[in-house]
Structure 1
Amino acid sequence: MPAAPAAPAVPSYEVRAVAGIPEVRPGDDLAALIAAAEPGLRDGDVLLVTSKIVSKAEGRIVRADSREEAIDAETVRVVARRGALRIVENRQGLVMAAAGVDASNTEPGTVLLLPEDPDASAAAIRAALRELLGVDVGVVVTDTFGRPWRTGLTDVAIGSAGVRVLDDLRGGTDDRGNPLSATIVATADELAAAGDLVKGKAAGLPVAVVRGLAHVLGEGSAAADLVRAPADDMFRLGTSEAVREAVTQRRTVRAFTDEPVDPGAVRRAVAAAVTAPAPHHTTPWRFVLLESPRSRLELLDAMRDAWVEDLRRDGKSEESIAKRVRRGDVLRKAPYLVVPCMVTDGAHDYGHARRDAAEREMFVVAMGAGVQNFLVALAGERLGSAWVSSTMFCRDVVRKVLGLPQGWDPMGAVAVGHAAAAPPERPARSAEGFIEVR
């Protein structure tokens, strides 16, 4: 009788801590200390090394009167702040609590900083172990992170050498033949988390070995590849920080690409606009969306003709008129136009010039608040915009062309589209120049 076919091998791996690593001090040869602990390394193993001992060996211990000062020095960008807790981007490009500054297991009055270049640290350890032990292993430098949407901490990879940190499955299929279009596995982070289960935080076991996963070894990638690019980061800021940042990111954009504008994005921006404050519990905002090229062209041609007529009445030369009219190109070249209009149906009539003027000003201020909300919301949708005053100078023309009620006052026009280029940096303004305290 023929022998039964052998059962397919069931994937498995083992992970174990390495005992015997002494207290690490600045200047120590970390690879030599690991080799002396007789870790029993074999080709294809992955060595997981806690960043704290890498930092100590590299002398990343600094004197600091307070941990907060050290965090300030290591911070490139504040992502979110809640009381004393800060989530920041640090010098290594990692987004994490307290910039990775650690005040535990170090002398009083000192703090530990993360390795200057964790990928380079991993590469140095790997090369030294090859020399000392004659083995080809992968090395991952790990650190402890919290995670958005998840409670609790876990270890992740902040440095790597000889390990394919990402397993990109896009373009393949699952076992049912369905295409995989978004699956990228963070292999190095999975290894780091596995090692954390045996290393422990206070057991004096800062190094672990994973065996049985030789297929994850490979060249050409580094832990820095795990950091999401800013353009792909949908949650770059905390909630309150995002609200403040959104206001400053609202910039006037005057050149757009040909990419179509999502009408749904504009409608979401209108929904944000109409949350603005308004007098007497009224709703003074109306937004006319010019979504067809024909409607935009008819309006802009009529506005141009009215403007030319005004300029000729002012005695301007034809050359001057042509130059001024070209200022309207920002509207003509935009792929989408919005005409915000003010209605004052709920205004009080006092029969008194001063009070009636103030009443209208209240509605104008509310209209400005609504338009600002609209522009900020467009920026949140990654759409550029330019608020141009043109329609305010020919309201009758605008109402006639667009078929608007007589009581709708056009308050400019907003050009909307995808910015052709990033707007130039705007110098920061100090609030002090705009404040008077009494």
Structure 2
Amino acid sequence: MTAPAPSYEVRALAGLPEIAPGDDLARLIADAAPDLRDGDVLLVTSKIVSKAEGRIVAADSREAAIDAETVRVVARRGTLRIVENRQGLVMAAAGVDASNTAAGTVLLLPEDPDASARALRAGLARLLSVDVGVIVTDTFGRPWRNGLTDVAIGAAGVRVLDDLRGGTDAHGNPLTATVTATADELAAAGDLVKGKATGCPVAVVRGLGHVLGEGAGRDLVRAPADDMFRLGTSEAVREAVTQRRTVRAFTDEPVDPGAVRRAVAAAVTAPAPHHTTPWRFVLLESEAARTKLLDAMRDAWIADLERDGKSAESIAKRIRRGDVLRRAPYLVVPCLVTDGAHHYGHARRDAAEREMFVVAMGAGVQNFLVALAGERLGSAWVSSTMFCRDVVREVLGLPADWDPMGAVAVGHAAGAPAERPAREASAFIEVR
């Protein structure tokens, strides 16, 4: 006998009054749905939860309310802001709503949507002796997709994620990445019957009792470390610039050569004089190449320090301080070439010409360091190769007109870098 095809029922709940601060929302839902059964799932629009919890605030400006609820700006375009709010949700306008509320007021999201869902579930269990799931929903836009849909922002008694990894599909292929957002699918189904202007802020799903279980809305929020799209374009650039730090301790994790090459591609977009391309990047990807260069540089440095009359103890201390390059799993030697430079036969003008190329080199290396930070790689730009350029050129087999401009240690940071002291831009600005 053929098994019946899976099916479920979703219906809007009629009969709820206008919700006011202090209302017992569980009681009102129980009165409107005395026929709730074990295994049902309630989909409750966050607006009525917020109203019952008194999350209505006076606001002269919705923008000011958004500011107060924002933890981090993810992206901004004109007046539209996508932000991370106090609940950890990334959404437009922090979830602050000026609709369905009196003039001069705005509606904030529930302070803790998961706690709200737990309270509703417990209240319905007490009033109707039923075991139901509760999902608090809100309307979201989505990256890469037009239109809005309801998603789960809080949950209780529902397995919000269905992890299918380790299983197989109908053809026996292994499932290695499939984790279904069950709670979001339920929220969207409920919105089909609730609508936005029907006065039916609650829906009931029946026939999917297997989705009941442990879960919370916060389980649906992707961890920052796993979020490849945590920032908008301009915000990502700004964060890479402002969050770049000099890293002096690295893990043993290997560096992706492709990431370094992408950083070089960013480096060579820097401005340069006379439409020249004065940057060259020597990538030391083998341990043998790094060791050979660093040993030769160390010997040259020791010889210089001995000529300066430094003691053995002082020399050893200086050598240890320069060991950041040895601790890195990857080294890059940026070099300056001045092909295309103008020669004036005048010392001051020729010196200024070289300075222009050096500035362009600095701009290229800064691009390089920022791009590495965007690849989640730490770096330290160390000047040591500039003091023994002949040695570096000989060891690496570089042309005589390539000037090594320091070395960049690259790797995965062994820990969080120290906080940089706050710098007020105004301290560095003069206006005329």
Q: TM-score range, shorter-chain basis?
A: over 0.9
CA distance in 2, matches of 1:61, 1:131: 28
Q: Distance in 2 between matches of 1:292 and 1:119?
A: 51
User: 2:160 is matched by which residue type in structure 1?
Assistant: V
Partner of 2:207: 212
Q: Which amino acid aligns with 2:138?
A: D
Pairing 1:164-175 to 2, within 5 Å after superposition? 164-175=159-170
How many residue pairs align between the two structures?
432
Q: Which residue pairs with 2:320 in the alignment?
A: 326
Hey, what does 1:3 align to over in structure 2? none
Q: Secondary structure at the match of 2:343?
A: coil
Residues 18, 39 of structure 1: 8 Å contact kept: no
Residue number in structure 1 paired with 2:172: 177
SS of the aligned residue for 1:349 comes to coil
Q: Hey, what does 1:248 align to over in structure 2?
A: 242
Contact 1:343/1:409 (8 A) holds in 2: yes
Distance 1:301 1:22 in 2: 80
Q: Deviations along 1:119-156, whole A, 9 cap, x unmatched? A: 01011111111111111110000000000000000000
Q: Using the alignment, how far apart are the partners of 1:368 and 1:344 within structure 2?
A: 14
CA distance in 2, matches of 1:398, 1:42: 78
Q: Residue 115 of structure 2 aligns to which amino acid in structure 1?
A: A
Q: CA deviation at 1:17?
A: 0.2
Give 1:23-62 correspondences, 5 Å limit.
23-38=18-33, 40-62=35-57
Distance 1:145 1:353 in 2: 64
1:410 aligns with 2:404: yes
* TM-superposition CA deviations, 1:219-248 (whole Å, max 9, x none): 2x2011000000001011111111111111
AA aligned opposite 1:232: D
Aligned-partner residue type, residue 31 of structure 1: A
| Percent identity for Structure 1 against Structure 2 | 86
The alignment status of 1:259 with 2:246, answered yes or no, reads: no
Give the distance between the partners of 1:372 and 1:38, measured in 2 at CA. 63
- C-alpha separation in 2, matches of 1:391 and 1:383: 22
Q: 1:39 offset after TM fit, Å?
A: 5.2
2:5 paired residue among 7, 10, 13: 10
Q: Residue 189 of structure 2 corresponds to which residue in structure 1?
A: 194
CA distance in 2 between counterparts of 1:32 and 1:58 reads: 14
Determine the C-alpha separation between the residues in 2 that align with 1:267 and 1:72: 39
SS at 1:174's partner residue? Answer: coil
Aligned pair partner of 1:87 in 82, 89, 106? 82
CA RMSD across the alignment: 0.8
Tell me the distance in 2 between the aligned counterparts of 1:38 and 1:421. 54
> How far apart are the structure 2 equivalents of 1:7 and 1:173?
22
The CA deviation at 1:315 is 1.1
For residues 265 and 85 of structure 1, what CA distance do their matches in structure 2 show?
32
Structure 1 counterpart SS, 2:11: strand
8 Å Cα contact 2:280/2:335 also seen in 1: yes
- The 3-state SS of whatever aligns with 1:156 is strand
Q: Which amino acid aligns with 1:183?
A: T
Equivalent-residue separation in structure 2 for 1:427 and 1:215 (angstroms): 53
3-state SS of paired residue (1:145): strand
Deviation at 1:300, TM superposition (A): 0.5
Alignment partner of 1:196: what SS?
A: helix
Per-residue displacement from partner, 1:77-101 (whole Å, max 9, x unpaired)? 0001111111000000000001000
After TM superposition, give the deviation of residue 178 of structure 1 in Å: 1.2
Is contact 1:75-1:88 (8 Å) kept?
yes
Query: Are residues 1:70 and 2:65 paired?
Result: yes
The aligned counterpart of 2:14 is 19
Q: Secondary structure at the match of 1:172?
A: coil
Deviation track 1:198-231 (CA, whole Å, cap 9, x = no partner) reads 0010110000000110000012x20110000000
Query: Quick one: distance in 1 between partners of 2:396 and 2:122?
Result: 72
Partner Cα separation in structure 2 for residue 24 and residue 426 of structure 1: 49
- The letter for the 2-side match of 1:354 is R
Query: Any idea what SS the aligned residue of 1:310 has?
Result: helix
Q: Is structure 2 residue 150 aligned with structure 1 residue 159?
A: no
Q: Does residue 292 of structure 2 align to residue 284 of structure 1?
A: no
Distance 2:80 2:370 in 1: 28
How far does the alpha carbon of each residue in 1:364-414 deviate from its partner, in whole angstroms, 9 at most, with x for none?
Answer: 000000001111111111111100000000001111111111100000000
Aligned-partner SS, 2:271? coil
Verify: 1:337 aligned to 2:337, yes or no. no
Distance 1:31 1:427 in 2: 50
Instruction: Provide Cα deviations, 1:273-303, integer angstroms capped at 9, x if missing partner.
Output: 1011000011100001111111111111111
Matched, 1:317 2:307: no
CA distance in 1, matches of 2:216, 2:133: 11
User: Which residue in the other structure is 1:109 paired with?
Assistant: 104
The reply to whether residue 100 of structure 1 matches residue 102 of structure 2 is no
Matched, 1:369 2:360: no
Amino acid aligned to 1:182? A
Amino acid in structure 1 at the alignment position of 2:8: Y
1:329-364 deviation line (CA, Å, top 9, x unaligned): 100111111100000011100000110000000000
| Distance (Å, rounded) in 2 between the aligned partners of 1:80 and 1:184 | 27
Q: Give the equivalent residue in structure 2 for 1:239.
A: 233
Aligned partner of 1:356 among 350, 353, 359: 350
Q: Which runs of 5+ in 1 are unaligned?
A: 1-5
TM-score by length of 1: 0.98
Residue among 228, 253, 266 paired with 1:272? 266
CA contact under 8 A between 2:34 and 2:128: conserved in structure 1?
no
State how far apart, in whole Å, the 2-side matches of 1:97 and 1:262 are. Answer: 35
- The aligned amino acid for 1:237 is L
- TM-score normalised by length of structure 2: 0.99
- With 66-75 and 173-182 compared, the bigger mean Cα shift is at 173-182
Indicate the SS of the match to 2:331: strand
